[in-house]
Structure 1
Amino acid sequence: MPAHTQPPPADLGRVLIIAGSDSGGGAGIQGDIKAITMLGGFAATAITAITVQNTLGVHGVHPLPLDLIEEQARAVLDDIGTDAVKTGMLGSIAVIERVAALLDTTPAPAVVDPVMIAKGGHPLLDADAVAAVRSLMIPRAALLTPNAPEAEALTGLTITDLDGQRRAGAFLLGMGAQAVLMKGGHVPGETVIDVLISSTGETLLEGPRIETRHTHGTGCTLASACAAGLARGLPLETAVANAWAYVSEAIRRAPGLGGGHGPLDHAWPVRDL
């Protein structure tokens, strides 16, 4: 009997991650797996690209063949199954089209992180692929998690404050996303405010800005942490709040690795046992 016909344990949410690999271990597939595992989920993967990177930047991007990306995802979906899908670095129109078609084959909610630029500034999405994100990924997102620059690119709006985050979030809802977590890390201010916006209203998540250069993988980690909560059946607001608290503490405890933008401490819950 195929394994996917057996229900998973009630407290184990399965998450299929479709994203790029980060050789530095802080972002991408590696950061996603760590976050989902720490929050009680089971992570499976379909890798879209292999990147050569460390805390100093991205030194190479090597996309995988479209059929191989799809075969990885199908192998997971046809056997293990999934309770949520998290997408990260897709890179090109062709990959976006293939992933959108995959999303249509599962009822699992999709957390879409519209990855466009690496922490060090290296582009991770082709310039001509932004329109494909708008038309294919946003309407399929149960939760969209853009930072301010990504939201500006997707909406054409300028975001400099909380009102700008709200306007962009509402715009993205109008484009078809079921909910939007408008991240505020790039918005000036001593306080960082993320805004969760859905048809039922908004929730503010805020805390003091942590002065550190060790924030590599923050977006990937937050989106995956949200997916882990949704996969376990948590309400959207609870899943996002838990993810936000987890990531905030992971930033505070960043181990200071490398000479550039270092990774978070994904494993901090284990250190508290």
Structure 2
Amino acid sequence: MRAGVHSWSFNKRFHGDQSFGIRDFIAAVADLGFTGVELLTGKAGGDTGHLGSAEPRAVEAIVRFAESRGVRVDSFSTYNDFAYVPDEAWRLANIAYIKDWLALAGACGVANIRMLTGYHVRGASQVRLQQLTLDGIRECAPHAERAGVNMALENHSSVFLEAEDILWLLAQVGNARLTTCPDPTNWSAAMLAGTADAAERELVFRGVELIAPRATQSHLKIAGITADGHLQGFGADGLARLIGIYRDAGYDGALAFEHVGPGDALGELALAKGIVERAIAAAGALPHSSPLATAARPGA
């Protein structure tokens, strides 16, 4: 396991400072010693996210620039909503968008796309929304296979949010290229804020335990560093438990930091890197090799 950074950590700067681009982000985190990044691609309809372009040569040039700085692009962070029933054309465009980015990731040698499910629509049948999401993923799965890229499903969207539901979805699709991207505090804003009780924290850790065995990417929100030098919302014991869950699941990939706090992103990311790397070292070696760790890289 190793610490990485999601470009979302600088989302406000990307939008507020026109001189700050994706190469600036990569260079900044490389200077801090990070060796992996996740890059926000945007969404269907022309939004190019933090990359500034979806043109294949431009995207590959970004990946090669990262490599020149000793940084691997672990994942492209795509947006999709396979359950958007108010606009069928837009919903179908989301499916096409995922297919396009699977092909782009494969061509660039990027192992994962971070994928979503869909969002509840008021007045729409939950059964219908779930079926549309399932159908959309099934349609994309052959493209993931051809590209040699994982569709790393994040516990993010309201359709299939809970860990048990994600496991059911994976079983229904039945394709090894549908993997997971756990983001623990997506299940509890209170935990990230440091106000969750023991029962709520237990639900979060239980959720990670369930989906970590299928993980090929993961997120870790950084809301701040406490006065005693720990990650806000986790503390020493919570972080050790999280790392231990990943270790026992055989996960040996990135923990992509998402800085979401009010503090200085670069400063807090640097501190978080040290905290997490010490926790990883303390957790020791993986007890076994995960077959998905081998399958994560294109061509494996």
TM-score, normalised via structure 1 length:
0.43
Select the structure that is richer in helix: 2
| TM-score, with structure 2 as normaliser | 0.40
Greater fraction of residues in strand: 1
